[in-house]
Amino acid sequence: MSRCVEVLIIGAGNRGQTYASFSNEFPERMKVVGVADCRLIARQNLQINYSVQDRNVFNHWKDAAEREKFADAVIIATPDRQHKDPAVAFAKKGYHILLEKPMAVTVADCKEIVAVCKENNVMLSVCHVLRYSPPILKVQELLCQGLIGEVVHIQHLEPPEGAADRCLDCAVEKRCPYSAKKLYLEGVKNGKKGWPISVICEESTVDIESVTKALREGPYGRCVYECDNDVVTHQVVNMEFEEGVTAAFTMVAFTEKLASRKITIYGTEGELMSEGQDPVTVFDFLTKTKTEYPLDFSSVKKTLLGGHGGADYFLMDNFIQAIAENNPSLIRTGPEETLDSHLLVFDAERARRESRIVYCSRTD
């Protein structure tokens, strides 16, 4: 039997709690032995849930990093802009790393993380959870079988009149589809306490009072039309690769199917389609037939880690097994592949901001 992997949690928020819960379901495979979080209640809750010793509870990750190595791996689930420093520090200590995506928010920081992990011979798994999801795994399997031949080569919104700065004070809130009151407060009134409501409360208790306080004082209660948040709400990225393969990525926030992904791959002999958790279908150009390939969710039914269509479970399962067996090949996206994907995204963002075509191999 594989050994039990001891893990330190850096950031005890939603994702940190999710990954830590793997040890509750599989205590013979993973044990949480430490936690660091600047929020007292967050770290206390995780300490209690996993019986973490007092000496391994920290209010800052630096305190944990200064100690002699006392775990096999570290799970870093801090805010995006706080990824690089702990990742570099713990890699230098010899910890294997599960790092929330993105790796970091600058090219230089991403490259430094990868370089330090390679220099210290530690495994790095970035949480591209969907790469572990049954739909994506099935798509990859069918592509490897050659069922479709070769892949073909080939603004700001104005606020409604009468709107207030915050939804709780807004006279037109009832006819606004982006009302924070509808999205969060009505949800908790109907008994919903999970994501996304749970992540807006600074305290651990999710109730009407804490949600109201969060909407009254925090960023989630601000009018969506008046916010200074510059994250894109819709985007189309067109890519051309060296051998002529083209790809188009479309992201849109304005949709009924929230967080649903749809993939279509066009080949020389057929067409492959995947949407959500539906079976993957392949249409054969020669026979004019369509074949459905069902997805295997049997493993997910045995676990509470069902987020992202079960991909949360598969991500943790592979990471813990890779460490227990000292087998980095079990991590689906290694440091170099992850860095390449991040560099591509940085170039796509540069193209968007500068309104021009960007050639990825160039610096101009």
pLDDT of residue 38: 92
pLDDT digit of tens for each residue in the chain (364 aa)?
468 999 999 999 889 999 999 999 899 999 999 999 999 988 899 999 999 999 999 999 999 999 999 999 999 999 999 999 999 999 999 999 999 999 999 999 999 999 999 999 999 999 998 888 888 888 888 888 887 776 655 445 566 888 888 999 998 888 888 888 888 988 888 888 888 888 888 666 788 888 899 899 988 999 988 878 777 888 899 999 888 899 999 988 888 777 788 999 998 889 999 998 899 999 998 888 999 999 888 877 777 777 777 788 889 999 999 999 999 999 988 899 999 999 999 999 999 989 999 998 765 5
pLDDT given for residue 362 in this prediction: 62
- Is the separation of the CB atoms in 294 and 274 below 8 Å? no
Number of domains into which the chain is organized: 3
Question: For position 203, what pLDDT does the model report?
Answer: 66
Check residue 155 and give its pLDDT: 47
Instruction: Tell me what pLDDT residue 205 has.
Output: 78
Q: Is residue 87 part of a domain?
A: yes
Same domain, residue pair 143 and 51: no
Q: 183: which DSSP letter?
A: I
Residue 315 lies in a domain: no
Do 283 and 140 belong together in one domain? yes
Residues 138 and 280 in one domain: yes
pTM: 0.77
Q: Where are the beta strands (DSSP E) in the chain?
A: 5-10, 30-36, 57-58, 73-76, 96-99, 124-126, 234-240, 246-252, 262-266, 270-275, 280-284, 289-293
Inter-residue contact 34 to 64 (CB < 8 Å): yes
337 in a structural domain: no
Q: How many residues does the chain have?
A: 364
Query: What is the rounded distance in angstroms from the CA atom of residue 74 to the CA atom of residue 83?
Result: 12
Do 287 and 247 share a domain, yes or no? yes
Give dist(CA 250, CA 238) in Å, integer. Answer: 9
DSSP string, 198-266: GGG-SSS--SHHHHHHHHHHSGGGB-TTT------SEEEEEEE-TTSBEEEEEEES--SSTT--EEEEE
Q: 43 lies in a domain?
A: yes
Residue 248 burial (10 A CB sphere; 0-12, 13-18, 19+): exposed
**Tokens found for residue 55:** 């000496």
Same domain for 288 and 143: yes
Do 247 and 139 belong together in one domain? yes
Strands 5-10 and 30-36: parallel
Whether residue 160 is preceded by a cis peptide bond, meaning omega within 30 degrees of 0, is: no
Looking at residue 156, what DSSP letter applies?
A: P
CA distance 288 to 145: 18
**Do residues 282 and 145 both lie within one domain?**
yes
Tell me the C-alpha distance between 104 and 204, whole Å. 27
Domain that holds residue 188: 167-221
The verdict on residue 279 lying in a domain is yes
**For residue 364, is it within any domain?**
no
Kindly state whether residues 195 and 48 are assigned to the same domain.
no
Residue 102 lies in a domain: yes
Residue 334 within a domain = no
Residues 6+ apart with CB under 8 A from 362: none
Task: Specify whether 139 is located in the same domain as 248.
Answer: yes
Closest by CA position to 22, among listed 4, 37, 40, 42: 4
Which residue among 199, 221, 243 closes a domain?
A: 221
- pLDDT, residue 1, reads 47
- CA 7, CA 25: separation in Å to the nearest integer? 15
Same domain, yes or no, for 50 and 106? Answer: yes
Q: Do 97 and 205 fall into the same domain?
A: no
Same domain, 253 and 291: yes
- Domain of 46: which CATH number? 3.40.50.720
The strand pairing partners of 209, in sequence order, are none
Measured in degrees and rounded to the nearest 5, phi and psi for residue 362 equal -110, 160
